[in-house]
Every structure is written in C-alpha cells, then in structure tokens.
C-alpha cells in the first residue's frame, strides 16, 4: 500500500460511519454530506486499497470479510485518536467541537429546555446536537457522546451522574372526570376507573408503581386510551379522558391552577433520578461537564434536586 496521506483518515472515517449505520443515507446524515459523496468516497477508497470493503444492496449495507477486519482494527485506532483529542478538554476553559446527546422527552422538557438559551449563549463555539427519543438505544453504536435516562435504565457499563434527586410519580385527573366517576381511595379502586395507559420505549404497557417500600404495588390499570409520551397523556387527562400517571414536575402548573387534581397522594411513588450517562470517566466530551453543571444549578432552583 502507498504511504498514508491526509485524505485517507477522512475516507476511513466515512467507512466507519457506514459500518455503524449500515446505511449510506444514515451515514451521510450523520456526517452532513450527500449520499452520492459517500458513494464516491467509498469507490475511491476501495480502488486505492485494492480490496472490496462493502456489499451494498437496495435494502442493506454489509461489510465484506476484509471490511469487517478493517473495521475491527479501525475501531481501536479511532478510539485512541478520540481519547487523545478528548484529553485537550481538560485544559480548555471554553468547549469547542460537537456534543451529541440522546434524551427522553421528559428530560428535554424538564432539564434541557430551561437552560438551552443560556448554554448556547455561553458556549457559542460548541455545536450541540440533541435527539429526543424515548426508547433505549446503544449510544455508542449510534454515535452519541452521552445520553439521559432514568437511573434504573442506564446500562451498567456506563458512568451515570444524577442530574436530579428522586422523582415523584403521581396520579392526576381533571375535576370533571372525578365529578363524573368519583375519586379512587385505594389502588384496587383504579380497576373500576378509566386510566390513561402508558407505553414504554419497547412498546410494552407500563404497570403503574404505587407507594414505596414494602407497601408498593404494581397495577396493570384498565383504560381505552394509551400513549407513549407525557405531553399526550397529560392533555388526555386535561380533557377528562381518565386518570393519568406522570412525574409531578410535568403537571406542576396544571395542579396549581386547578385544571388537574392529584389522586391518592398517599400512593405517590418515589423513583430513580434522571442521570447523564456516558462511556468515559474523564467527562472529556466537549461541553459535557459544563452542560451537567448548568442543569444541576437549574434543577436546584426548581426543586428537582436538593442542594447539599
């Protein structure tokens, strides 16, 4: 093979993006280029190396045996390069570069929305890419630097940093619904009510967790309406569809102005905090430490976390 040149590193990065995504279209979106540009790059790379690296069909992209071997070696090499570049963040006061996050909708509303303007103004040289997605994904395989999830769902091989204190999950309903159907007093009463069921990221229906400790109960509540996001669930409760289960912070204003009423407050459930998680203990991804600090300062003021 001829001597390594500057363009080769960029071409190999393109190859690795295609391997991660198993798609020219998705890789092009990740890299911010056209699909045709990626195809041209791969043709040139394969010609230069003299080896076919990819099998491409109308439905999928798969590596050849040579491509699999190259990808395995490059994964180690690119990780070493990234670690080397990441160490510079320890010496830089103002983050520069790109930070890619994957977060659930509740975290986007409660943690990120309140600080986005301030954060972007404070760090104009940082590109923040935010993807809101409730289902769990492999953030490393999908090319993200970090994610936010509830503590119990964070993969064990990741570093998890709590951004909030324990979160309070409650049941709420509109005054009109309660006037029409009555107010449940104990968990078993819910079986005689219409509840707004909640889908999890894996499309299964969530069993409501009521109470704490040894008295906690999990109930598969009845209901003719289900949704996967909190906003839709809360809107349905406001319209009298039934009893909803959600984070107390998501309905704070609705409870204050009386549009919703908390049901069975003695059976509220304290759950895991929202955590930032990532694969490296150095916290060296550009802007990640500053983002976590800003979120935590804001959540102290909003009572999502208790100051120490």
Beta strands in the chain (DSSP E): 54-56, 61-63, 97-103, 126-132, 146-150, 159-162, 167-173, 196-198, 208-210, 217-219, 225-227, 244-247, 261-263, 269-271, 274-278
pLDDT for 307 equals 39
pLDDT for 306 equals 46
Under DSSP, the state recorded for 199 is: B
Cα(86)–Cα(137) distance, rounded to whole angstroms? 23
Check: CB of residue 246 under 8 Å from CB of residue 231.
no
Do 95-165+273-304 and 6-88 have the same topology in CATH? no
pLDDT for 57 equals 76
State which fold the 6-88 domain adopts: Arc Repressor Mutant, subunit A (1.10.10)
Please, what CATH class does the domain formed by 95-165+273-304 belong to?
alpha beta
Domain boundaries, the chain: 6-88, 95-165+273-304, 167-268
- 10-residue stretch averages of pLDDT, the chain, 308 residues long: 63 88 85 87 89 83 90 83 65 74 93 94 92 88 90 87 93 98 96 94 85 94 93 96 95 96 97 89 75 88 50
Cα(31)–Cα(26) distance, rounded to whole angstroms? 9
Task: For the beta carbon of residue 102, count every other beta carbon within 10 angstroms.
Answer: 23
Cα(193)–Cα(81) distance, rounded to whole angstroms? 58
Please give the backbone phi and psi of residue 101, each rounded to the nearest 5 degrees, phi first.
-120, 145
The structural architecture, per CATH, of the domain 167-268 is 3-Layer(aba) Sandwich (3.40)
pLDDT for 4 equals 55
pLDDT for 181 equals 96
Q: Is the pTM of this model over 0.75?
A: no
3-state secondary structure of 300: helix
Find how far residue 96's CA is from the centre of its chain: 22
pLDDT for 304 equals 61
Q: Which two tokens stand for residue 243?
A: 């009893």
Check: CB of residue 265 under 8 Å from CB of residue 185.
no
Cα(20)–Cα(27) distance, rounded to whole angstroms? 8
Check: CB of residue 137 under 8 Å from CB of residue 153.
no
Cα(116)–Cα(103) distance, rounded to whole angstroms? 14
Give the CA distances from residue 119 to residues 91, 146, 233, 293, 304, in Å, rounded to whole numbers and listed in that order.
20, 17, 30, 10, 19
């Amino acid at each position: 093979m001829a001597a390594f040149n500057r363009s080769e590193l960029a071409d190999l990065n393109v190859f690795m993006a295609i391997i991660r995504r198993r798609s020219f279209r998705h890789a092009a979106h990740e890299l911010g280029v056209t699909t045709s540009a990626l195809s041209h790059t791969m043709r040139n790379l394969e010609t230069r190396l003299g080896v076919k690296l990819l099998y491409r069909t109308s439905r999928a992209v798969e590596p050849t045996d040579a491509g699999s071997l190259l990808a395995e070696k490059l994964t180690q090499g690119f990780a070493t390069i990234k670690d080397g570049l990441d160490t510079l963040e320890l010496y830089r006061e103002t983050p520069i570069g790109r930070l890619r996050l994957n977060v659930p909708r509740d975290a986007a509303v409660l943690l990120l929305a309140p600080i986005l303007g301030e954060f972007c103004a404070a760090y104009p040289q940082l590109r923040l890419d935010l993807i809101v997605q409730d289902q769990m994904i492999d953030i490393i395989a999908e090319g993200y630097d970090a994610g936010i999830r509830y503590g119990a769902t964070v993969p064990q091989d990741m570093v998890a940093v709590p951004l909030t204190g324990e979160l309070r999950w409650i049941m709420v309903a509109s005054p009109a619904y309660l006037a029409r159907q009555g107010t449940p007093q104990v968990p078993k009463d819910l079986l005689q009510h219409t509840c707004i069921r909640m889908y999890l990221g894996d499309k299964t229906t969530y069993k409501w967790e009521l109470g704490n400790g040894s008295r906690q109960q999990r109930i598969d509540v009845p209901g003719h309406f289900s949704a996967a996001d909190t906003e839709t669930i809360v809107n349905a409760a406001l319209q009298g569809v039934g009893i909803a289960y959600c984070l107390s912070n998501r309905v704070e204003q609705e409870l204050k102005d009386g549009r919703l009423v908390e049901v069975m407050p003695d059976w509220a459930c304290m759950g895991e905090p929202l955590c930032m998680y990532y694969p490296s203990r150095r916290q060296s991804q550009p802007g990640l430490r500053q983002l976590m600090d800003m979120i935590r300062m804001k959540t102290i003021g909003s009572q999502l976390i208790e100051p120490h």
